[in-house]
Amino acid sequence: MIHEPLKIFYTASIQDIDGRIEFEEMKPCDSLVKGWVLWQLATFQNYTPERTDIFNNLIVADTDDGLSYNLTALQYASTLGAYGGIQVGSGSTPVTLTDTRLAAMLPNGVDVGMLQYQNCGGVATTVVGNTSYYGITRAFINGSGGSVVVSEIGAAVRTNSSSPKMTLILRDIVGPWTVANTKTLTVQYLVTTSVI
CA distance 105 to 107: 6
DSSP string over 49-91: --EE-TTS-EE----GGG--B-S-----HHHHTTSSEEEEE--
7-15 and 131-141 beta bridge pairing: unpaired
Q: Give pLDDT tens digits for 44-99.
A: 654 444 444 444 444 444 444 333 333 343 443 334 445 678 999 999 999 999 88
Check if the beta carbon of residue 188 is closer than 8 Å to that of residue 5. Answer: no
Cα torsion 165, 89, 102, 123: sign: positive
Can you give the pLDDT of all 196 residues of the chain as single tens digits? 555 678 899 999 999 999 999 999 999 987 888 888 777 776 565 444 444 444 444 444 444 433 333 334 344 333 444 567 899 999 999 999 988 888 999 988 999 999 999 988 877 777 888 888 888 899 999 999 999 999 999 988 765 555 556 678 899 999 999 999 999 999 999 988 888 7
SS3 94: coil
Q: What is the mean pLDDT of the chain?
A: 78
For 98, which DSSP code?
A: T
Provide the residue ranges of all domains of the chain, joining segments of one domain with +.
7-194
The values of phi and psi at residue 160, to 5°, are -95, 85
